[in-house]
Amino acid sequence: MIDSPTAMPELVTERLLIRVFREDDLEAAHKILDVEEAVADGSPPPDLEHRRRLIEWTRGHVNIQAALLQPPYADRAIVLRETDEVIGSVGLVPGLCMSGRFPSLRALGVLPGDDAVYAEVALFWHIGRNHRGRGYATEAGREMIRYAFESLHLQRVIATTEYDNLASQRVIQRLGMTIERNPLPHPTWLQIVATLANPRFS
C-alpha cells in the first residue's frame, strides 16, 4: 500500500479483520457473494471467473485510488480473526442519490428536489448466510463508519436498501442511522435511504 491520506489500512475490531480481498479468497467470495445470492433470487450465478476479475480489479485499483487521492471505493473482505475465514464483504461506494427527497439530507446541505442527483458516499455490507444473526454486519459497519469519519473526515455517509429488507434495516438502526422512505416509487434501489452525520461537523 502506498503512503496516501486516502489509503485505507486493514481495520481490526474485536472479532473481525477488514482487508483487501486476496487471490486465495476467490472460492469463499464466489460462494458468499455470487452463488448464495443467486440461489436466493432463483437466478443462475455468475461463474468463478467473474468473481476472479472483480477481485483482480479491486486489488489493482487500491494503489491507484490512493495515488489519485480518491476515496477507497471497493469491496473489502470481512474475516474472522479467530479462524481467518472470509465471511462477507463491506465497503464504501459512490452512490447517486436523489438527496433532495430526504429531509435529513436536505438538513445537511442539499436543495429540495425530486430528481436532482447528488453524489453521496454509501456504506454497504454483505454477510454469508451461515454467519448471519451474530452482529458481524453491525460490527463491520460501525468500524467502517469510524474510519470514514475519523480518517477520511466525511461529512456524512448513507446506506440504501429495499422496503422489504428488514434485516438490513435492523443493522442500519443499530448503526444509529436515520431511516427514511423514498416518497416516490422509483428508483427501486433507493426505496430506503439511511443517513448518518459526522458528529464532528454537527
DSSP labels for 66-130? HHTT---BEEEEEEETTT--EEEEEEEEEEEE-GGG-HHHHHTT----SS--EEEEEEEEEE-GG
Take residue 79 and report the three cell numbers written for it. 474475516
Count of domains for the chain: 1
Is there a domain that residue 6 lies in?
no
Residues of 50-78 as b/e, b for ≥16 C-beta within 10 angstroms?
ebeebbeebeebbeebbeeeebbebbbbb
Any domain includes 151 = yes
Q: What is the pLDDT of residues 85-131, one digit of tens each?
A: 999 999 999 887 888 888 888 877 777 776 777 888 999 999 999 99
pLDDT at 189: 79
Per-residue confidence (pLDDT) for residue 20, from 0 to 100: 96
Evaluated on CA atoms 96, 17, 152, 193, the torsion sign reads: positive
Give residue 186's pLDDT: 78
Q: What is the pLDDT of residue 84?
A: 97
**Intervals of the chain under pLDDT 70:** 1, 114
In a domain, 40, yes or no: yes
> Within a domain: residue 129?
yes
Domain span at 167: 11-201
Asked whether residue 85 is assigned to any structural domain, the reply reads yes
Residue 1 lies in a domain: no
Q: Please report how many Cα atoms fall inside a 13 Å half-sphere around the Cα of residue 95, on the Cβ side.
A: 23
Q: List the CATH number of the domain containing 142.
A: 3.40.630.30
Structural domain contains residue 119: yes
pTM of the model: 0.90
Asked if residue 4 is part of any domain, the answer here is: no
